[in-house]
Structure 1
């Protein structure tokens, strides 16, 4: 999440607060739901957002306002985080909603507990399903369909087959905060990895990797990047053979197609 100045400081401090509260046993799933709903409201109610981020308004007054609006409607811990958030300075007012949504994503990832690896795999698998199914992709992006209708479609696809955290994030991806559902899901995968101190590698191969191959590749990337790397393996027939690995902006391309193209360029030169 790229923020500047006061907003970057607020994100760091609120992230620490959230981690402390979750470490103390707070309900991560409930907090995630609460913060997402609040972030959505702040985006749809610009008047509330302006007051909540106005430096000329006393922090106590802003705390009283959000307590009046949200008290009894959200978990007490969620309210504490919200009161802390409106008491901070923000570089631009929209950053308040952006940060609360990010904290929501972190809380939902944390709600998966020891299933963090499974969560990342399920998000990747669902993203591939959306990418590969034009009818589903069109249905999820159709402006004529309500968000509730799209959410029901997502539940029908994932309920009973995926973790509750996966279902929640898949539904949040419909909110329109990110440019597309695919971008939202990719962001959630990054958040899931970052929460657990990992990096994410997208690995494109012609055929599925065996367990031993995945282990060797994961170990090699972990040594190279000095941290655990979660592998998102994509079977891509255009690869032909070999492997292409993307870690952030780094690309390691050892595919047959690339080597053929390089040979052609050398011959043409």
Structure 2
């Protein structure tokens, strides 16, 4: 998103956060209803233009939202009307922002139920599974395959073993495969869950499984460096040969043997 849309997204989501938190078990309902709005926006360019037209009065946009979605929960129509009252760089950005609000509502339900950490871990494990199973990832991401077939394939993988919120978010990700890669969508869900818990997400790739003591030590180092609680997600990849690679946000600290060998190779080449 460009600056104008990003500012609108942040402002509305910040106001919606406490509403989602106070919704309790209703968070799942709010999330599903917000996804209904997203689907309507997906299916109608004229609706997106009407709700993002800067020349149109905010009250008129709110009235249109109430007219079209009056059968939904008032908390849903309120946040959609708030989104519509803002300014957007592109009409498609409104759809993305409403989708994020739906995710926020579902994660709030998980947090209220005391299972947000479980949801985050399950999303991460599915992310790692798909990163290691390229054929499966391609099949789930293939927009030329019908939605029903993709969802059936997903259900065959999940086998009903995940939390309700995890399951709903993954179904949504597969159901609405868009421009960005499916694996990117899942990574963003993991990040959103960490954000909901008030933690920075540190993604770690290691040649071998880290012991509990090593994990604790790494968390302590990262918390000291960033001054913030850290959620550590560790994946094992034997191809790194040794050491670890840590990513926090956009910052990457690569201490793997592979990285060091690659650096040595580049130095040798530059000296020829």
TM over 0.5: yes
CA contact (8 A) 2:21 2:108 kept: no
1:159 CA drift (Å): 5.0
Structure 2 match to 1:192: 193
Query: Residues 4, 259 of structure 1: CA spacing in aligned structure 2 closer, same or farther, 3 A cutoff?
Result: closer
Provide the rounded CA distance (Å) in 1 between the counterparts of 2:240 and 2:75. 49
Q: Deviations over 1:147-197 (max 9, x none)?
A: 232123223332531111211221222212341111111111111122222
Looking at structure 2, the residues matched to 144 and 267 of structure 1 have their Cα atoms a distance apart, in angstroms, of 46
Shift of 1:259: 3.4
Quickly say closer, same or farther: Cα 1:64–1:159, change in 2 above 3 A: farther
State the 1:60 CA deviation.
2.7
Q: What is residue 95 of structure 1 aligned with on the other side?
A: 93
Contact 1:244 1:254 in 2 (8 A): yes
What is the aligned partner in structure 1 of residue 255 from structure 2?
Answer: 254
Change (3 A) 1:55 1:208: same
Q: 1:256 to 1:12 in 2, by over 3 A?
A: closer
Length-normalised TM-score, structure 2: 0.88
**Matches of 1:222 and 1:263 in 2, distance apart?**
31
CA distance in 2, matches of 1:131, 1:260: 24
Corresponding residue for residue 244 of structure 1:
245
Say whether the 8 Å CA contact 2:173–2:185 is kept in structure 1.
Answer: yes
Contact conserved, 1:154 with 1:167, CA < 8 A, in 2?
A: no
Cα distance between partner residues in 1 of 2:57 and 2:267: 68
Distance 1:90 1:59 in 2: 13
Asked whether the 8 Å contact 2:21–2:109 carries over to 1, the reply is no
Counterparts of residues 15-30 of structure 1 (less than 5 Å) = 15-25=13-23, 27-30=26-29
Aligned mates of 1:93, 1:110 — CA distance in 2: 27
Unaligned runs of 5+ in 1: none
Partner of 1:45: 44
Aligned counterparts of 1:25 and 1:106: Cα–Cα separation in 2: 11
Residue in 2 that maps onto 1:169: 169
Alpha-carbon distance between aligned partners in 1 of 2:75 and 2:251, rounded to the nearest angstrom: 39
Conservation of the 8 A alpha-carbon contact between 2:141 and 2:177 = no
Paired residues of 2:205 and 2:237 also in contact (CA < 8 A) = yes
SS of equivalent residue, structure 2 residue 228: coil
In 2, distance between residues paired with 1:9 and 1:259?
40
1:204–1:236 CA contact under 8 A, matched in 2: yes
Gaps of 5+ in 2: none
Q: Report how many residues are paired.
A: 266
